[in-house]
Chains A and B, each alone.
Chain A
């Protein structure tokens, strides 16, 4: 009995890490976008879904394999992000945050609506690449190789993003633009271009997460809408705009959810929101956010 529950715990911890990987990748993109553009990108879930769908369609109609899709789908979605930011989103920067939220929420509805209309609600499955098929016996449990890959890849992508932002010249421009974009303009730095690039990178990350999710979850029009609600809770717990906060909270809350499934399954779906309520009560700026 004791042995059985340990197995269950390990199993749920791995599931928690998988979910946490997606929470981290998605909240990371949201945090970067919010930090610089001050836009809560409600289209993030829809663009995650668009990443998964791009991979599916490229596979189905063009024979593009998983590894190429991992590069191409984020580029396609990032290009879409560039067009959206240039044509629409940037016109709202001078207005209240609420307008950016409404616009991106509208975009999410349109993208989901179009995909739903074209491909139906049921969705399709996406095969994992041959290289990552099968499972690995860790001794205490059996894990599908693909899931391990997702966890490792997500950690690597999060770490690389953190390094780019904290340790490079480009990251210094991003941090400076987040703090005081006006002054940065007087140094002849092209701030509007930085904003476009940031939005593209953020939604590209969402699409990358989408491709990685495709072989695990059913690829369906609403897959993004389901996950994004949790991801926004993650962002609130971590602190809006905090990069490391998004990463640690993403993985942490994924694990917490996993533990809850073993300890008290009834609470599994609500534990993240309970956490969000607690954080809002006692530390409104988030665990990693700066109190202002």
Chain B
């Protein structure tokens, strides 16, 4: 099994089951992510990818199984506690606050640990944001909102980033910019879990891929082999 032998395991999820109200969404998810790894979760719409991320950050409270973050069991922890363990979450809908300025959005998440990026480093990574600091969050384009959504969780000192479909609905030139940013973050040592429907994008940046179907991880591929096993992947992803 290709695992994270190189680094120590930062995130270890075993037999995770989760519910939205009465509907049972996750049926025993197993995954582990090593320090500095970039792992994607691929799968169709409704497979449970976003729910997995929302469970890890603690937004879903009804869940069973085990979730060890930096070695700490967190299955029953609140988002507030999980964030302090160094996990940061960038939601699919981006969650830019419309009534806050871009600058306020950027500095909203408090610094919880050392090792976060400085604002200057963030501006180097996303130059568009610097020019729009006083704009309202609601006045940004989709691409700018996505960059801001990623940028604002980099200051906090979190070292595990959960990114939910950061390229969804964006123009190719913006996707390229986000790809560069994610690659740079990986080089800086961030551990990243990336949910993606765009598997070409996933293939460019990731070390490893989990494939999800009906609330379970059904397959795992390394990035080296994914090209040869393309048929297998498309079978999972095609409708």
A182 partner residues in chain B, CB cutoff 8 A: 59, 79
| Contact across chains for A172 and B110 when beta carbons are under 8 A apart | no
Name A188's contact: one of B59, B97, B99, B110 (CB within 8 Å): B110
Bound: A187/B155 CA distance, A: 11
A184 partner residues in chain B, CB cutoff 8 A: 108
Does A183 lie at the interface of the complex (its beta carbon under 8 Å from any beta carbon of B)?
Answer: yes
Name B80's contact: one of A169, A178, A180, A188 (CB within 8 Å): A188
Are A188 and B79 CB-contacts (below 8 A) given A175-B97, A175-B100, A180-B97? Answer: yes
Bound: A97/B59 CA distance, A: 23
Bound: A267/B181 CA distance, A: 65
Does A185 lie at the interface of the complex (its beta carbon under 8 Å from any beta carbon of B)?
Answer: yes
Name the residue on B nearest A185 (C-beta): B79
Bound: A292/B78 CA distance, A: 31
| Contact across chains for B84 and A188 when beta carbons are under 8 A apart | yes
Bound: A4/B108 CA distance, A: 57
Within the complex, what minimum Cβ distance (angstroms) separates B129 from chain A?
Answer: 17
- Tell me the dominant secondary structure on chain B's binding face: loop
| Contact across chains for A189 and B57 when beta carbons are under 8 A apart | no
- Tell me the dominant secondary structure on chain A's binding face: helix
Does A84 lie at the interface of the complex (its beta carbon under 8 Å from any beta carbon of B)?
Answer: no
Are A186 and B79 CB-contacts (below 8 A) given A172-B104, A173-B108, A176-B108? Answer: yes
Are A179 and B80 CB-contacts (below 8 A) given A172-B108, A187-B109, A189-B110? Answer: no
Name the residue on A nearest B153 (C-beta): A187
- Max count, chain B CB within 10 A of own CB: residue among A183, A185, A186: A186
Bound: A175/B112 CA distance, A: 21
Chain B contacts with A in 48-71, Cβ cutoff 8 A: 57-59
Does A5 lie at the interface of the complex (its beta carbon under 8 Å from any beta carbon of B)?
Answer: no
Chain B contacts with A in 91-115, Cβ cutoff 8 A: 91, 95, 97-100, 104, 107-110, 112
Interface size class of B (residues with CB under 8 A): 20 to 34
Within the complex, what minimum Cβ distance (angstroms) separates A241 from chain B?
Answer: 11
Name B88's contact: one of A178, A185, A186, A190 (CB within 8 Å): A186
Does B83 lie at the interface of the complex (its beta carbon under 8 Å from any beta carbon of A)?
Answer: yes
| Contact across chains for A187 and B110 when beta carbons are under 8 A apart | yes
Are A186 and B89 CB-contacts (below 8 A) given A172-B104, A172-B108? Answer: yes
B84 partner residues in chain A, CB cutoff 8 A: 188
Name the residue on A nearest B85 (C-beta): A188
| Contact across chains for B59 and A186 when beta carbons are under 8 A apart | yes
Chain A contacts with B in 166-201, Cβ cutoff 8 A: 169, 172-173, 175-176, 178-180, 182-190
B88 partner residues in chain A, CB cutoff 8 A: 186-187
Name A185's contact: one of B78, B104, B153, B156 (CB within 8 Å): B78
Pick 24 A–B contacts, CB within 8 A, sort by A. Answer: A169-B107, A172-B100, A172-B107, A175-B97, A175-B100, A176-B99, A176-B108, A179-B97, A179-B99, A182-B59, A182-B79, A183-B91, A183-B95, A185-B59, A185-B78, A186-B57, A186-B79, A186-B82, A186-B88, A186-B89, A187-B83, A187-B156, A188-B79, A189-B80
In addition to A179-B97, A187-B156, 20 A-B residue pairs with Cβ atoms within 8 Å of each other are A176-B97, A176-B99, A176-B108, A178-B99, A179-B98, A179-B99, A183-B91, A185-B78, A185-B79, A185-B80, A185-B83, A186-B58, A186-B59, A186-B82, A186-B88, A186-B89, A188-B80, A188-B81, A188-B83, A189-B110
Query: Hey, which bits of chain A sit against chain B, CB under 8 A?
Result: 169, 172-173, 175-176, 178-180, 182-190
Query: Nearest 10 CB-CB pairs, A to B?
Result: A188-B83, A187-B109, A185-B79, A183-B95, A186-B79, A172-B104, A175-B99, A186-B89, A188-B80, A176-B97
